[in-house]
Amino acid sequence: MAAVQTLTLVVPPTPASYAAPAAASSSRLAPPHPSGHRALLPVGPAYANHLRLALHHAHSFSSLDKHLEKERERLAALHSADNAAEDDLGVGSEEEPEELLHRDPKEWKSQDHYAVLGLSHLRYLATPAQIKIANRKKVLKHHPDKKAAGGAAKEEINSRFLTGVNLNTNDDAFFKCIAKAHEVLTNPERRRQFDSVDPVFLEMEEDIPTAAEIKSKRLDFFTALAPAFALYARFSKTQPVPALGTSDSTKAEVEGFYDFWYNFDSWRSFEWLDKEVNEGSDSRDDKRYTEKKNKTERARRKKEDIARVRGLVDLALSLDPRIKRIKQEEKDAREAKRRAGAPGAPAKKTKAQEEEEKKAAEAAAAAAEEAEKAARAEAKKQKAAAATAAKKARRQQREAEEAAGAA
Amino acid sequence: MSKKATQNGSTDAPIQISTLPPVVGINFGNSYASIAEDLAECIANEDGERQIACAIAFHGEEMYIGNQAKQQLVKNSQNTITGFRNLLGKKFSEIPQSENTTSARVIQHPELPDTPAYKVQVLQPSPAPLNSNTTSAYTTPAASHAPTPRSEPMLVDRILTVSEVATIFIKSLVQSAEDFLGKKVKGAVISVPSTFTDSQKVALEKAAEDAGVTVLQLLDEAGAAAATTTTTIWSGDSLHPDRTQLLVDLGASGLSLSLLSVREGLTYVLADSHTDAVSTAAIDDKLIKFFAADFTKKTRITLPVCPATAPIDQRAEAKLRLAIEHTKRTISASPGAATCSVESLKEGMDYTGSINRMRFDMLASPVYAAAAKQIASLLAQAGIDAHDVDEVVYVGGTGCLPGLDSRLCVEVGLRDGVETPFARGTVVGGGVGDPTTILARGCAAQAALIDSITEEDVRAAFSRGHQAREVRATTKTLGLIFPNNLPENKEVGGTWIPVVQKETALPARRIVSFDVEVTEGSKRFVCEVREVKEGIRVEKVVEEASPSDEDDEDEEPEEVEIKHRTLTKETLFGVIDTQAKLAIQTKGKGKDAGKWFTRVEVEFIVGIDGALDVELREVGGDGAVEKLHVSPL
C-alpha cells in the first residue's frame, strides 16, 4: 500500500446553496510532458519500484503492492532468522536465584561456574564462543559501576547519620564470582578439572541405580542404565561413545559396547578437590606434605572413579538381557548346524546329562553345605553347653568354699 | 569412535551471518573523496579522516595517499599529484597547459600518444650486483662469504598515467573500507560529476576495475545527493514527499546547480548548470591574501601571495593553503572566530591570526554573489520562480558555511521557511545534512539497493543511459476543491487540496487523508476534482519605517516585494457529491464542540496513458465510497 499523506487541515462544511457545475464529458488531463523530455535519476527504491511497475506489473499499482508485500514478508522472515543466529548463539537468559547472587566470591571452589554465567542448560557442552557471550551479558548486567548508580537511585538513604557512607560495599561480590567463573571456564585445563567434579554431575551420579535397586524395583534394564552410560560418556577421550542401545541390538553392537566400556579411557581428574597448600607457612616440608597428600588423594579418587565405571559395566553385563538372548541364539545356531550336519541324538544326550550332572552336583554341594552348617551349629551348641557346665561347677565349688570359711 | 576427541564444547556454534552486504559508496571528488557503507555512515580511513584528500605523493621509497600526501605539497610539491580526477579519460591535447600548478605537472606520456601523465621521482632499490649463485668462494676475492652489500637505492623517474593514479587512489579507498567492514568489498557505486563525458566515465570505470572493484553504478552527483535526500532519515516527518529541490554544489573546481523535482522518491532534473567561473578556489585565494596581509602587518615581512613568484613565497603560500583548510572547517562548525596558525611561515617567523564569520563572509562575498546570480539564471531558465523552491541542499565542504546559506536565501529570493539543512539544524555534529557526506552516503545507499535487487531486468535499468529512465510527467497540478465561502479561499471558491503535483512522473498514485466537517442535518459534502494552474502574484508593499528608529529617519521607505502563490481553476473533471455515513459529533467544550466531522481518504491514480482514477473513501468500516474515472488522452 502506498504511503498515505495525512493532512492536518479540516475542510469546512459545504454551503447548502452550492450547486455543482456540470463537468464537460470531454475533459481530459493536460497533456503530460512527452516521453524523453524528463529523465529520471536512476536512484532510490522509488526508482526500482517504478521499474518493476513498468517491467513486471503492466503499470498496475495493486499488482505491485502484492509483490512488495510478499517481498517484505520474505525479507522479514530472513532477517528474523538472521538476528536470532547472530545474537547469542542460544545462550539465552536464565533466572538468577537470590542465593546465587549473594554468593561469597571467596568460596569459588564450591561455586557452580556454569550457573553463575547462566549456562546451566549447556554446562560442559558450552562452546568458548557461548561462554564469551554469556560472560559479556552477565558483566553488562552486574558491573559494579552500574550497580552503584542503580542502587543509589533506588533506595534513598533515609538516615542522615548514614549519608555519604557507602552501604553497598559488597556490591561487586557477584561480579567477582562472574570474573572467577569466566577465568575458570576459559582456561581449558581448569575447565576440564571443574567439569570432572561438576556439582550437577555429581548429583546425577548419585542417582545411578545399583544392582539391588534394579532387582528390587524391577526397573527396566535399558531405561535404568542408558542414562548412566550417557552420563559417563562425556569423560571419554574418544568420541563419539557407543550408546547402550536397545533390546534388539546386534551381537556386534553389544560386543562393541562392552568392549569400549571395559577399555574406557577417561579424562576425568580430581585436581579440583585438592587441599590448598597453607599459604601462611613457608615451611617447605609442610608444602611437600600437602602436595603428597593431594597426589595420593587424586590417585585414590581416580581409582575409585575407574572402579565405579567398571562396576557399572559389570552390573550392566550381568543384567543385560541381550547377553542371554545372544547366547541362546548362538546355541540355537550351533544346534541347528549340528542337527543339519550329523545325527545329534548322542550329543544332545550328553549335553542333557551334563546339565543334569551339574544340577546334581550343585544340589550335592548345597546339601553338603547345609550339612556342614548344621554340624557347625551343633558343635557350637555343644561348646556352649560345656562352657555353662564348667561355669556351674566353678560356682558350686566357690559357694562350698565360702560356706566352709563361714563355718 | 575414530573421531577426534572433543572433550568440551562439542556443540557446534551456529555460523555467524552479518546482514551488511559488502558494498560501499564512494564519493570521488576532484579535491576530496569519501566512502560510506550500507548503513549510510561515512567511513574514516586509517588516519581517522572522513574527508580524504585526493592526493598521492611520492617521497623516497614511500608513497603517501590522502591528507598525508597533501602535507607534501609544501616541501615536495613536484612529486605530489592532485586534481587528477578531472583529467581521467581526457587526451593530453584537451588539457589546458597554462595552469600554474602547485603540484606535479601534467606531461605528455613519453610512449603512449596523446596521453596525459605525471612524472615523479622515486627511490628504487638498486638491483643486486651479482646473482647469488655466482658468488662463490672461488670467484669472490673478498675473504668474507657474505654477499656484496647492495648499493644505495637509486633515484629514478617514474611515469604514471592519470588512470594509474586513479587506480592507486581508489584501491586505497577500498582498502580503508575493507578494513572497516572486515571483509572484501564486492561492489561500489561511485559518484561522477554531471560534466563527465562518456569517455571519462569509461576511464573511471576502468580505473576502478583495475583497482579490483566492481562498479555497480556510476551515479551523477545530483543522483547521489537525491539518493540521500529521498530517504526517510533525511526527510523525517517535516518534509513533504513532493517538493522542488535546489542542489548547490560549490566546489574547488566549479559550481554545479541542479533543480530537482522530488516526487515521493522519484526524482528528475528540471534544469542544471555548471560553471567553472565560480569556485571556492577564489575564496581560498582571498583568505590566503587576508592572512598574508595580516602577517605582513604583524611582522613587517612582505609576503606576496596569489600568485607567489619567489620559491620562498610559494612555500609560504602552500603552508597557508594547508592551514586554511582547518580555518574554514572551524568557521563552518563554530560561531566564534577561527584561527589560522602556521609555524615558520616566512623567515622563521610563526604566524597566528584569526578571522570571524563576518569578516570571512565579507571576503567570500563576491563568490556568494556570483553563486546567487547563477542560481537566479538557472531558475529563470527552468521557468520556476524562486518562491516555488521548497528545499535547498548543499553539497561539498563549502556548503557547510552558514554564511553561504543565509546569503543565498536572501539574494536569490527564496521564500521564508524554505527548508535548508541549516534551518533544520542537521549540518553540524555529524547530522544527516552534513554537506560533506551527502554524496558518499547516497552512493552507499544506492549500492545496497542495487545489491538487493534480484530481478535482472530491473538491475539492468540502473546502468548508464538506459531508456527506462525516460518518463512522461504531468504538467499541471491535480487536486480537490471543497467549495465554501471563506474569504481566504475567494480565488477558487473553496478549500484547495493538491494531490498530484505538477512535474510528477507517470504512472503516479497519491493518497491523502484529512477531516471534513459536515452539517448535522444533511451530512452532505461535495468536492470538485480539478486541474489548476499555479502562479505567483507579486505585491509591492511600502514598508513603513517604525517611529522608534530615529537613526533611519532620512532613509527612504523601502519598497518590498511580497510574493503570493495564486491558483487559477482550470479543467473540471467531475464532482463528488455524497453523504457522510460515519460522521461523529465532537464532545466537550472546545470550539469544535457539537460539530460533525468525518475522516476521508482520497486516492488519485494517474495512469501512464493519462487516465485518471479518483476514489474517495470514508475511513472506517462501511463508509461512503465514491469513484470517478477520466478517460485517457
CA dihedral B374, B377, B379, B384 (to 10 degrees): 160
- Is A399 within the bounds of a domain? no
Partners of residue A27 in chain B, C-beta under 8 Å: 571-573, 630
d(CA B321, CA B399): 19
Residue B149 binned pLDDT confidence (cut-offs 50, 70, 90) = low
Give the pLDDT score at B255.
92
Residue A263 belongs to domain spanning: 200-336
Q: Which residue of A has its CA nearest to B268?
A: A40
Q: Where do the DSSP E strands lie in B164-290? A: 187-192, 214-220, 242-251, 254-263, 266-275
Q: What is the pLDDT of residue B463?
A: 83
Distance from CA of A56 to the nearest CA of B (A): 9
Query: Which of B241, B246, B194, B235 shows the shortest CA–CA distance to B405?
Result: B246
Lowest-confidence region among B12-16, B240-244, B316-320? B12-16
Which range has the worst mean pLDDT, A338-352, B349-363, B529-543? A338-352
Q: What is the pLDDT of residue B10?
A: 45
Mean pLDDT of B290-317: 91
- List the single residue in B227, B482, B574 with the smallest CB-CB distance to A44: B227
**Domain shared by A208 and A172, yes or no:** no
Pair (A172, A266) in one structural domain: no
Say if the Cβ atoms of B1 and A32 lie within 8 Å. no
Q: How far apart are CA B446 and CA B265, in angstroms?
A: 13
Confidence grade of residue B131 (pLDDT, cut at 50, 70, 90)? low
Residue among A40, A55, A241 with most chain B CBs within 10 A, to mutate: A40
Task: Find the CB nearest B266 among A28, A50, A195.
Answer: A50
Which cell goes with A94?
A: 536464565
Query: Could you tell me which residues come within 8 angstroms of residue B31 by beta carbon, excluding any fewer than 6 positions away?
Result: B53, B54, B82, B83, B251, B252, B253
pLDDT in tens, A311-335: 888 888 888 888 888 888 889 999 9
**Which positions 88-107 of A are in contact with B (Cβ < 8 Å)?**
89-90
Number of domains composing chain A: 2
**pLDDT tens for residues B166-220?**
999 999 999 999 888 888 888 999 999 988 999 999 999 999 999 999 999 999 9
Domain boundary among A310, A336, A362: A336
Which chain B residue shows the shortest CA-CA distance from A242?
A: B1
Residues A133 and A259 in one domain: no
Contacts of B526 in chain A (CB under 8 A): 14, 18, 20
Across the interface, whether the CB atoms of A41 and B267 are under 8 A apart is answered: yes
How many Å from the N-terminal Cα to the C-terminal Cα in chain B?
A: 80
Element (H, E) at B477: strand B477-483
Per-domain boundaries in chain B? 22-127+151-215, 281-361, 471-536+567-630
**A283 by DSSP, 3-state: which?**
coil
Residue A62, domain member (yes or no) = no
**Using CB atoms and an 8 Å cut-off, which of residues 19-48 of chain A contact chain B?**
20-21, 23-24, 27-48
Tell me which residues of chain A, numbers 164 to 223, contact chain B at a CB-CB cutoff of 8 Å: 188, 191-192, 195
Look at residue A166 and tell me whether its pLDDT is greater than 70.
no
User: How would you classify residue B434: left for phi > 0, otherwise alpha for psi between -120 and 50, otherwise beta?
Assistant: beta
For chain B, percent of residues with pLDDT exceeding 70: 89
Give contacts of B511 with chain A, Cβ < 8 Å: 2-5
A212 and A180 both lie in a single domain: no
Give A285's pLDDT tier (boundaries 50, 70, 90).
Answer: confident
Residue A394 lies in a domain: no
Eight-class DSSP state of B86 = G
Average pLDDT over residues B591-604: 86
In a domain, A259, yes or no: yes
d(C-alpha A283, C-alpha B265), whole Å = 83
- Contacts (Cβ under 8 Å, ≥6 apart) of A88: A130, A133, A134, A137
DSSP state of B471: E
> Are B608 and B544 contacting, i.e. CB atoms less than 8 angstroms apart?
no
Name the pLDDT band for B144 (thresholds 50, 70, 90): low
Using the 3D structure, point to which of A124, A158, A186 is the last residue of a domain: A186
How distant is the Cα of A28 from the closest Cα of chain B, in angstroms? 6
Answer yes or no: do A209 and A114 share one domain.
no
Note the pLDDT tens digit of each residue in B465-481. 778 888 888 889 999 99
The pLDDT-based confidence of B130 (bands split at 50, 70, 90) is low
Which residues, other chains included, contact B92 with Cβ-Cβ below 8 Å and sequence gap of 6+? B106, B108, B109, B114, B115, B116
> In this predicted model, what pLDDT tens digit does every residue of B54-94 receive, in sequence order?
999 999 888 999 999 998 988 888 899 998 998 898 888 88
Whether the Cβ atoms of residue B608 and residue B505 lie closer than 8 Å to each other: no
What are A110-127's pLDDT values in tens digits?
888 998 888 888 888 888
Distance CA B594, CA A366 (A): 111
Q: What mean pLDDT is reported for chain B? A: 85
Q: How far apart are CA A119 and CA A114, in angstroms?
A: 5
Grid cell 480565488 — which residue? B491
CATH code reported for the domain at B22-127+151-215:
3.30.420.40
Chain A residue with minimum CA distance to B605: A61
Q: Tell me: do A121 and A149 sit in the same domain.
A: yes
**Cross-chain Cβ contact A7/B267 below 8 Å:** no
- HEC profile for A122-148? CHHHCCHHHHHHHHHHHHHHHCHHHHH
The yes-or-no verdict on residue A167 having pLDDT over 60 is no
Mean pLDDT of B22-44: 86
Alpha-helical runs (H) found in B269-310: 280-299
Architecture of the domain made up of B471-536+567-630 = Sandwich (2.60)
* Residue-level pLDDT at B142: 55
Does residue B15 surpass a pLDDT of 70?
Answer: no
Q: Is A176 exposed, middle or buried (0-12, 13-18, 19+ CB in 10 A)?
A: middle
Rounded Cα distance, A111 and A104, in Å: 9
Closest CA to B486 of A10, A155, A233, A120: A10
Pair (A180, A204) in one structural domain: no
Chains A, B: CB pairs < 8 Å: 275
Q: How confident is the model at residue B11 (pLDDT cuts 50, 70, 90)?
A: very low
pLDDT of A407 higher than 70 = no
- Confidence bin at B374 (pLDDT 50/70/90): very high
All three cell numbers of B19, joined, read: 546482514
Residues A107-136 as b/e (b if ≥16 CB within 10 A, e otherwise) read ebeebbbbbbbbbeebbbebbeebbbbbbe
Q: Which residue of B has its CA nearest to A130?
A: B13
Q: How far is B399 from chain A (nearest CA, A)?
A: 22
Instruction: List, for residues A133-145, the tens digit of each pLDDT value.
Output: 889 888 888 888 7
Instruction: Mutation target for A interface from B12, B471, B522, B596: give the one with most A CBs within 10 A.
Output: B471
Interface of A with B in 225-264 (CB under 8 A): 236-242, 260
Instruction: Give the pairing type, strands B55-59 and B52-53.
Output: unpaired
Residue A170 lies in a domain: yes
A170 and A207 inside one domain: no
Q: What pLDDT, on the 0 to 100 scale, is given for residue B524?
A: 86
pLDDT band at A406 (very low <50, low <70, confident <90, very high): low
Question: What kind and span of H or E run contains A367?
Answer: helix A345-406
**Does domain B281-361 match CATH 3.90.640.10?**
yes
Cell 585526493 belongs to residue: B54
Euclidean distance between CA atoms B390 and B26, whole angstroms: 28
Handedness of CA B321, B252, B331, B440 (dihedral sign): negative
What pLDDT shows up at residue B13? 43
Cβ distance of A55 and B457 shorter than 8 Å: yes
User: Considering only CB atoms, which chain A residues are within 8 Å of B269?
Assistant: 39, 41
DSSP B580-598: -SS-EEPPSSSTTTT-EEE
Q: What is the DSSP string of B553-584?
A: TTSPPPEEEEEEEEEEEEEEEEEEEEE-SS-E
Alpha-carbon distance A108 to nearest alpha carbon in chain B (angstroms): 21
- Backbone dihedral angles phi then psi of residue B354, each to the nearest 5 degrees: -140, 160
Q: Report the C-alpha dihedral over residues B249, B368, B364, B398, rounded to 10 degrees.
A: -20
Determine the distance in angstroms separating the CA of B223 from the nearest CA of chain A, rounded to an integer. 6
Tell me whether residues B449 and A267 touch, CB distance under 8 A: no
Q: Are residues A307 and A221 in the same domain?
A: yes
CA–CA dist B385, B130 (Å, integer): 78
In a shared domain, residues A155 and A207: no
Chain A 279-338, residues with CB within 8 Å of chain B CB atoms: none
Q: Among the listed ranges A400-404, B264-268, B287-291, which one has the minimum average pLDDT value?
A: A400-404
- Å from A73 to nearest chain B CA? 15
Distance of CA B427 to the CA centre of its chain: 12
Of A159, A186, A213, the residue that ends a domain is A186
Residue B469: list chain A partners with CB under 8 A: 39-42
What's the mean pLDDT in B36-61?
86
Q: Are residues A325 and A205 in the same domain?
A: yes
Cβ-defined contact of A5 to B511 (cutoff 8 Å): yes
